[in-house]
């Protein structure tokens, strides 16, 4: 099979197209999936730059998100059959092959049927961003009807999904964006207020919007120094959830003085810790999400597609930071 292999850490040039043996069923609950598409996520770029999570695992196939057709099933598979169209988030961290390939293996407990209303390209863009935003807003913040939330980077992969999930809960959404084009994009998704953060102090804007009370909750998809600045924009006893690690410069004094509840969201934990029950819960999120896509409550935006062979160029474009929504690799 054709695959894009990370041969070393470094620039996008370390991603090389190679011919590899097609994987074979290894465990009774395995599905062999012929991939139709795989999305490129920021975590892929970090692994390429810094190395896999697991030592001595190079060369490696990157890619967590995938969508495709079941080609073969293990003897204990009960919920999927050959020919089923599926989507999932699996592998790609260095311990098992990812989705930058024509075929991959995935445990049936971590898979969901692809939303019928989505193409394979669209479906491949969904899993990581849907699970991340769902866990952050629904399980960490526990967002409720009528609450106000600030979502940083609303035009990005996670951000544009978070806006829609917040609106599904009946929340008022404020989001930071960097251009009029992105403002139009997030407005179509339901964002109520846009802050042009390169020109406007987002803390002052949020405080003005809330009558100096502060926003009920904030979702940080950017990291420092935005995380620390966000603390002052959140009301007393409010919530902040971040995708990123804190640093020595993190302003914990402000967070403590405002008695904020700080949460981390790392949807990779079940993969990194091999927590099968948690991975099953993430598959359930994909199943619930599929129903939302099928009735039109959720939409996924694919900003750019590339053939599998151009994975290196896809990395360059995602690193540039100008693409709205998701970047997806498409198999021939």
pLDDT digits (tens, 9 = 90+) for 163-198: 999 999 999 999 999 999 999 999 999 999 999 999
State residue 332's pLDDT score. 79
N-to-C CA span, the chain = 12
127-134 vs 276-294: helix axis angle to the nearest 10?
A: 100
Give tens-digit pLDDT for 245-291: 999 999 999 999 999 999 999 999 999 998 999 999 999 999 999 99
State residue 214's pLDDT score. 98
Long-range contacts of 19-28 (CB under 8 A, 24+ apart): 20/101, 22/102, 22/103, 23/97, 23/103, 23/104, 23/105, 25/72, 25/73, 25/74, 25/105, 26/105, 27/74, 27/107, 28/74, 28/75, 28/76, 28/77
Go through 29-61 and write b for each residue having 16 or more CB atoms within 10 A of its CB, e for each that does not.
Answer: bbbbbebbbbbbbbbbbebbeebbbeeeeeebb
State residue 94's pLDDT score. 80
Q: Give the pLDDT band of residue 323 (cuts 50, 70, 90).
A: confident
Query: Which residues, listed in sequence order, are joined to residue 3 by a DSSP beta bridge?
Result: 18, 101
Task: For residue 299, count other CB atoms closer than 10 A to its CB.
Answer: 16
Given the structure tokens 């003897």, which residue do they identify? 75
State residue 95's pLDDT score. 83
Distance CA(78)–CA(67), nearest Å, equals: 19
Radius of gyration of the chain (CA): 20
Distance CA(223)–CA(46), nearest Å, equals: 14
State residue 321's pLDDT score. 82
Average pLDDT score over the chain: 96
Give tens-digit pLDDT for 81-120: 999 999 999 999 988 899 999 999 999 999 999 999 999 9
State residue 253's pLDDT score. 98
Q: Which of 318, 271, 310, 244 lies closest to 94, judged by CA?
A: 271
State residue 204's pLDDT score. 98
Over residues 10-39, mean pLDDT? 97
217 CB burial (10 A radius; 0-12, 13-18, 19+):
buried
Over residues 217-232, mean pLDDT? 97
State residue 277's pLDDT score. 96
CA 116 from chain centre, in angstroms, equals 20
Given the structure tokens 């964002």, which residue do they identify? 191
Please give the full DSSP string across 41-72, using - where no structure is assigned.
-HHHHHHHHH--SSTT--SB----EEEEEEEE
Distance CA(324)–CA(156), nearest Å, equals: 5
**DSSP 8-class letter at 137:** I
Q: What's the whole-model pTM score? A: 0.96
Query: Which residues, listed in sequence order, are joined to residue 305 by a DSSP beta bridge?
Result: 328
């Amino acid at each position: 099979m054709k695959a894009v292999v990370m041969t070393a850490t470094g620039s996008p040039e370390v991603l090389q197209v190679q011919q590899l043996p097609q994987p074979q069923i290894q465990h009774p609950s395995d599905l062999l999936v012929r991939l139709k598409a795989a999305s490129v996520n920021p975590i892929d770029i970090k692994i390429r730059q810094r190395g896999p999570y697991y030592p001595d695992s190079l060369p490696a196939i990157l890619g967590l998100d995938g969508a495709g057709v079941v080609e073969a099933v293990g003897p204990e598979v009960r919920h999927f059959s050959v020919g089923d169209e599926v989507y999932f988030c699996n592998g790609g961290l260095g311990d098992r092959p990812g989705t930058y390939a024509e075929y991959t293996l995935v445990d049936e407990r971590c898979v969901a049927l692809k939303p019928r209303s989505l193409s394979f390209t669209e479906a491949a863009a969904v899993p990581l961003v849907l699970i991340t935003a769902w866990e952050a807003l629904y399980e960490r913040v526990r967002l409720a009807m009528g609450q106000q939330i600030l979502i940083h980077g609303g035009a990005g992969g996670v951000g544009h999904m978070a806006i829609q999930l917040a609106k599904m809960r009946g929340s008022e959404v404020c989001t930071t964006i960097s251009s009029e084009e992105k403002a139009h994009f997030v407005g179509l998704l339901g964002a109520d207020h846009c802050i042009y953060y390169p020109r406007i102090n987002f803390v002052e804007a949020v405080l003005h919007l809330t009558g100096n009370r502060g926003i009920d909750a904030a979702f940080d998809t950017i990291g420092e120094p935005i995380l620390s600045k966000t603390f002052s924009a959140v009301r007393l006893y409010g919530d902040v959830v971040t995708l990123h690690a804190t640093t020595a410069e993190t302003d914990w004094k402000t967070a403590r003085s405002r008695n904020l509840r700080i949460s981390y969201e790392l949807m990779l934990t079940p993969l990194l810790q091999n927590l099968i029950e948690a991975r099953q819960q993430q598959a359930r999120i994909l199943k619930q999400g599929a129903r939302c896509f099928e009735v039109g409550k959720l939409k996924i935006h694919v900003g750019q597609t590339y053939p599998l062979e151009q994975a290196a160029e896809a990395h360059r474009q995602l690193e540039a930071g100008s693409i709205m929504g998701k970047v997806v690799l498409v198999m021939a």
